[in-house]
Structure 1
């Protein structure tokens, strides 16, 4: 889940602090933003019970963070370019720390949803500065080493979210339960704010203006799209959900026209729509959307299956799921070397592994039903994670390779935004399938059987998306080598 600053020219304000010391502060910030992206999954059942939250509210607790994160990623990067990346790092960390405190003390599910959205907005201000600061402060081998450490840190954050998060919820320290997951951000955030002076300040030489109208239109449009998709099934699709979807279509059309007008007026739009007119890049963004739509939705469905359906405690549930994250990290380290040697067909193989392993996992849960032993899912989970890791990072590099260097910054911002929006969209779609399956189950059926059936229903989307990704990837790789689908 990466993002980069969209401008290549920067001015560096000299600092006596060594860049490597500042890097550790940046890594800490990267860790905590990704940790909070995943950790709620192990706490969802306890949140649901403690706050008497509905299924749609649980979906918004997960997707609200991702939606806010994705919508403001490009804006966050541009604000750092304009006003200084260290300054925006501090502002973002202040917001993240404060919103984490509000999450921890939230008395109702709706307040927790609002706090998660604020946390996502803060992460969107914070996270782009991590990538941009590394990019402008490290060069050559130092840059490769720094980005390698960042990739490893983000991978470890995903693993820690499952195991450490599960242990914290299970331990119920000071009888705080899931609230401890957000309280631990307070000392981390305060330390990062205090240590931010170690990060050399940098900003763009051009000081571009920010398109606030575009920010408003895309934020409202995507919110109007995703909120009814999450709430609609549980509320039996009331009239407001249909009106919201119609409003979303209108706002997104207005966003497209407004962005085109900005480009034609020689202004700097949030998104250069000519990027999406390049067929290879457009197809690549569809692939990114599909792949990332299967990530958070999978974590959420699995947490509900093992914790609510099988009544396994959060620590054991997180430990069972951890091999999936381990597989992801292993593949992320190995696949780039294989792609260098064998080419893009390695990504197609990775996508095939992902689709097949997802299908086998669904089949395993379907056949076991109420008698499911979650421990027996570990081999399949590892392969699912490996398949996911073997496609996600190489796919981003492949897609970004289709654009010219002068467009690389904006293209990376678009792709990073699509990653988060895809994750939020996946949660919405899975929520529809999962909730529908639960509501149609006979109440006399065992809880484990109900949730096994719901998991299978939800994961059918993931399987279908993974199969579509395989075919689209084959088309994209062939087009690259044959010179088809030219911009």
Structure 2
């Protein structure tokens, strides 16, 4: 039986798990925790620096170290879930996440925090791709679109509410206990989620769509990890104002080539690959979705970092006030993510095109209105962010649905991990790009003009994402 025939046979014999929506809810709670920790510490950097009496560059690695380890382990985590079971990998990842979260919250110095954040990011990399893998495994047809709609809602809300939750905890508990609570709160939530995972989440199915060979491609994992490192490390170093090891970027092309060649050889020899690169050639929808998602996160994520820095340092806002001003984006995304997940089955890539256009309109308005007087930003910038959120909520879930629609469930974890790796690389590049624009313009003119310039740079990147989505639509994705 060929792999394609096996996948069609698995779809024909599919019987929905009656607990699938409860399983999805547990999975998304865990996913929300891991994604929230990407952005929740942005507003806490000044408090951590003051509490530990360390340099800004060192504290920046509290943010960047998590993102680095997260991005490096996503595909390997997805493949391990495909091969050894979702419940097992979620259990291992969540235990690591709980322990490392406690270690960060109780850390006595900056070095201990950075090490614990690296471990926390690696644990999140094991956890997060199991979300897309479970959706591929448990849902078919229009239900899969709705499930990815909830996943997109989780991604958008976690990204946008991180600063709000962080600012609120610091305002409530004070600088020292506030930043520690950002990490310690993961412990009780994680323990409850761990019990639910053990009770509800199934291992991978044992039928025809199961992965038959549990071996993991360690050389492929090493090559891909080094390739991701060669991109992320220079980008987050630029963002953090530390050294500029840009020469490391030159290592990416040969490492990426070596990874692809190794994976092709692995498949040819009949061994299980880390990521079957034939997906990029044989499934145009997957390759297009990877490109659209990476470009979207490049333009989308840096907006929050720039506005957080600008409103606090340029306009004198408190962390909580800053977070409240950006929260309308989360509300907008919360409205449209589930709706977009339901509509994608009927309208396909057109949902992404409309959503990106609305997102770009809101970003353009924000760029125009960000120079308003500080007291007027509640009535100018906040509505623009809400409109951008309305559009943004309709991008992530349809893109995941379309990208993974033809990917066999037995590859769902690794394929979803690759999509999220593209998002992490895009987020790092976008944050570095927008902050560089903001700081460069701010050095020669005013902070509001610098913020406008950074938002226009984001708009330019989003226009490239829109062009990629248009191309995908024309090709019939």
Match of 2:336 in 1: 331
2:471 to 469, 472, 475: 475
Structure 2 residue 458 is matched with structure 1 residue 462: yes
- On the 8 A contact 1:331/1:387 being kept in 2, the answer is yes
**TM-score, length basis structure 2:** 0.82
1:218 to 203, 224, 237: 224
Q: What's the offset of the Cα at 1:189? A: 2.0
- On the 8 A contact 1:288/1:395 being kept in 2, the answer is yes
SS of 2:299's equivalent in the other structure is: coil
| Distance in 1 between residues matched to 2:41 and 2:373, nearest whole Å | 26
Q: What's the offset of the Cα at 1:295? A: 2.9
- On the 8 A contact 1:133/1:202 being kept in 2, the answer is no
**TM-score, length basis structure 1:** 0.81
| Distance in 2 between residues matched to 1:285 and 1:82, nearest whole Å | 23
Structure 2 residue 336 is matched with structure 1 residue 315: no
Q: Could you list the runs of 5+ residues in structure 2 that have no partner in the other structure?
A: 1-6, 12-17, 205-209
1:428 to 410, 425, 432: 432
Q: What's the offset of the Cα at 1:187? A: 1.5
Q: What's the offset of the Cα at 1:280? A: 5.4
Match of 1:190 in 2: 191
Q: What's the offset of the Cα at 1:40? A: 1.9
Deviates more, 1:46-55 or 1:84-93: 46-55
Deviates more, 1:261-270 or 1:201-210: 201-210
Q: What's the offset of the Cα at 1:209? A: 1.1
Cα 1:268–1:467 shift into 2, 3 Å: same
Cα 1:359–1:163 shift into 2, 3 Å: same
Please, what is the CA RMSD of the aligned residues?
Answer: 3.6
Match of 1:386 in 2: 390
SS of 2:274's equivalent in the other structure is: coil
Match of 1:177 in 2: 178
Q: What's the offset of the Cα at 1:122? A: 0.3
Match of 1:364 in 2: 369
SS of 1:390's equivalent in the other structure is: coil
Match of 1:164 in 2: 165
- On the 8 A contact 1:45/1:304 being kept in 2, the answer is no
Structure 2 residue 228 is matched with structure 1 residue 228: no
2:304 to 299, 306, 315: 299
| Distance in 2 between residues matched to 1:26 and 1:280, nearest whole Å | 25
Match of 1:355 in 2: 360
SS of 1:209's equivalent in the other structure is: coil
| Distance in 1 between residues matched to 2:176 and 2:391, nearest whole Å | 38
Match of 2:403 in 1: 399
Match of 2:279 in 1: 275
Q: Can you list the C-alpha shifts for 1:385-410, whole angstroms capped at 9, x where unaligned? A: 11212222222323334668887665
Match of 2:14 in 1: none
Structure 2 residue 122 is matched with structure 1 residue 121: yes
Deviates more, 1:467-476 or 1:246-255: 246-255
- Report how many aligned residue pairs link the two structures: 458
- On the 8 A contact 2:220/2:262 being kept in 1, the answer is yes
- On the 8 A contact 2:45/2:60 being kept in 1, the answer is no
Cα 1:127–1:404 shift into 2, 3 Å: closer
Match of 2:71 in 1: 70
| Distance in 2 between residues matched to 1:346 and 1:136, nearest whole Å | 24
1:49-68 matches, within 5 Å, as 49-51=50-52, 60-68=61-69
| Distance in 1 between residues matched to 2:138 and 2:350, nearest whole Å | 34
